[in-house]
Amino acid sequence: MSNEASTGTATSPTGSAGEGRGAQGIASFIDHTLLKPEASEADILKVCAEAAEYRFKSVCVNPVWVKTVKTALKGTGVLTCSVVGFPLGATPGDVKAFEARGAVLDGADEVDMVIDIAAARASDKGALVDDIKAVAEAVHQGEAILKVIIETALLSDDQKVLACEAAVEAGADFVKTSTGFNGGGATVEDVALMRRTVGPDLGVKASGGVRSLEDAQAMIAAGATRIGASSGIAIVNGEQGSSAY
């Protein structure tokens, strides 16, 4: 894994939340996100330009746009992030691994995968570990990092803990709250629960519904080391963003 890609923030896997929690400091926590299926190339390039201007941590897009983003971000220091098994997680682990391998070959520094949500709801930890491990191996072979989306809105607290434990066991680098497409998004309570479960060394990404500076600060205080948001500019400007993801 490259040092640049393996950091939860600009400094460490879990990041230094006390370092720059104001609007400008929080920019380095943000994955500037555009996952709408109807997004055009012009839309994608606009997001890349914004990320370079505001010095966001990454741009997160669907796999079809990874090459475009990698080219647009060259020399900016902003990472390229993509998603796998998105947004349902309901594809076999080997298919997710194939998708992840392709994204990394196209230039993704980071991959956000959706778990087998049905397995989590059935408390089948073994199936979850197998699902995540297949993708982790593919991602790490390309020296990228893996974030595991557990889709908190669809799980009980016990299931959230199980999913986080499976992510740790399978070798993930981050756990992430939500896709933003399947009901509720990140909550302070879920971020705190996930942080307690994975301990201090894994990244925790709060994603879905983080639309203001206050939202982002609350998530970081609860233990988040990355923020996934389509409202990154509003966040760093101290404004209220839209809920569009």
Gap between the Cα atoms of 169 and 162, Å rounded:
10
Query: The dihedral of CA 144, 7, 208, 190: what is its sign?
Result: positive
> In terms of Cα–Cα distance, which of 89, 186, 188, 84 is closest to 145?
84
Name the catalytic one among 70, 96, 160, 205.
205
In the residue annotation, 112 being an active-site residue is answered as yes
Selected catalytic residue, list 31, 57, 70, 112: 112
Of residues 171, 177, 158, the one with CA closest to residue 202: 171
For residue 226, list its beta bridge partners: 205
User: Is 173 considered catalytic here?
Assistant: no
Q: Which of 28, 65, 63, 64 is nearest to 47 (CA)?
A: 65
Dihedral sign computed on CA atoms, order 225, 231, 232, 236: negative
Q: Which of 57, 176, 190, 215 is catalytic?
A: 176
SS3 83: strand
Active site residue 176: yes
Nearest to 181 by CA among 153, 204, 201, 158: 153
Q: How many CB atoms lie within 10 A of CB 134?
A: 20
Contact 165, 197 (CB under 8 A): yes
d(CA 21, CA 90): 36
Active site residues: 112, 176, 205
